[in-house]
Homo-oligomer: A and B are copies of this chain.
Amino acid sequence: MSQKESLNKLLEEQLPVVYSFLSKLGKRIYFPSSGIMAQAKEAKSASSNASIGIALNDDATSLSLSGVSSRIDLHSSKIFPYASSFGLQEFRENWVGQMLKKNPSLSFDNCTIPVVTSGLTHGLFICAQMFFGGETEILMPDLYWGNYKLIFEVNVGAKFVYFPFFVEQKFNLSALKKELFSLDKAVLLLNFPNNPGGYSLLDDEQDNLVELILNYANSGRQLLLICDDAYYGLFYESNVAKESLFARLADLHENIVVVKVDGPTKEEYVWGLRVGSIVVGNKNMSNASAKVIEDKLAGLVRSSVSNVSNLSQNLLVELYRSENYFIEKKQAFELLQSRYLEVKKWLNNNSDHKKYFEALPFNSGYFMCIKLNEGLDCEFVRQELLKKHSVGLISIKQNNLLRVAYSCLRKDEIKKVFEAIYFVCKLHKV
């Protein structure tokens, strides 16, 4: 039996629900158990190790040029060699620790250990390659990151089915319920805090969603839920659910498979370093079936990027070790929260903005969205703001929205930006 066949056999026997969600590629992929990587791993402690395609100095340190090494205060072994396709072990352990701290109800008993991806996008892409093919329909809210289209629809060939995100300023659970229960088997993609909306579920909304999903599973139907937790942790209100849906659902029911894609990118303010993570959870996951899934995910990493920047992963390990990590992270949170509150304040103090636009509900993350009233076109308003007021926003045509990344604005700028939006809307309202 080939390695691929034995991986699939194990998964089909021990965790048929995950196997049933695999795409054709998800079934094909494996991490070569006897290839270069596996042999190089065995050779790691050989006194003469000529297994791997790098170059060493005579003292067995990595060959390197000082134009690079002199810029970085880390040992060369943390910069130049390749990291494993599974990810740097220390980073993976740190990331598990972070997840456990943030999600007290999570245990790692029935989910995989993080496989490190080249940023959040790569985590979503790996997930898409693993589970979605030309025939997959993905149910998701009508507020979503624009790049989802390119990742899931254009590249992987899946198809989105939308439900309306909000009803009466709340998460539209009944719309989701209607769509979900029309399906015999479902794939659901949720992103909290949401990009572009900046909304996270409130405690009671999350409870209701968990109950809904449990009911679906109890009806004998299988669900694959993708949690895009890119902006995790930036929750500015006390009634926002603080745990990831992943933590609530990973151990809930044998029919529920949950994938968590997250990473330090937004949480640790390291956008340009390109480090993300993907984990998969299911109530019946054993160590053996978890290993099969990790192997398949690492096979997708190996076949798309080989491995993720060793330097970036080591910088993050150093970050978690650094003395000021908690205090600086708290300061950063408070800075962003103060901007959030400033936006809220302007909206409350200037309620006549509702003649021209309304703010969609928001409570977390980097963004908030403005829904323009009829007679105003978001792309036109965006261009006017840019040309006449030197204010840069993002327009989202399908919902006639403007996305404001208040994470980029000084408190004193926020008033100016919203007044400019108000001014342009007032001037051009038909």
Query: Which residues in A have some Cβ–Cβ distance to B below 8 Å?
Result: 25, 28-30, 32, 34-36, 39-40, 42-58, 60, 62-68, 70-74, 79-83, 118-122, 125, 129, 145-147, 149-151, 154-155, 157, 195, 266, 268-274, 299-300, 302-312, 315-316, 318-322, 324-325, 328-329, 332, 335-336, 366-367, 379, 382, 386, 389-395, 397, 404-411, 413, 416-417, 420
Contacts and interface: CB of A to CB of B under 8 A. Distances in A.
21 contacts: A25-B155, A28-B155, A42-B386, A44-B392, A46-B390, A50-B391, A50-B406, A51-B393, A53-B367, A54-B405, A58-B335, A58-B410, A79-B273, A150-B303, A154-B299, A154-B303, A155-B304, A273-B309, A274-B306, A274-B308, A305-B305
A316 B39 CA distance: 30
A41 to B, nearest CB: 10
Given A65-B319, A121-B305, A312-B312, 9 more contacts: A40-B394, A46-B391, A50-B392, A55-B269, A55-B408, A67-B324, A68-B315, A120-B306, A272-B311
A401 B412 CA distance: 68
B271 A80 contact: yes
Given A80-B270, A272-B79, A394-B40, A319 B53 contact: no
A47 B385 CA distance: 11
B55 A332 contact: yes
A420 to B, nearest CB: 8
A319 B269 CA distance: 25
Contacts of A315: 68, 71-72
Nearest to A82: B271
Which among A50, A157, A366 has the highest number of chain B CB atoms within 10 Å?
A50
A186 B329 CA distance: 55
A306 B65 contact: no
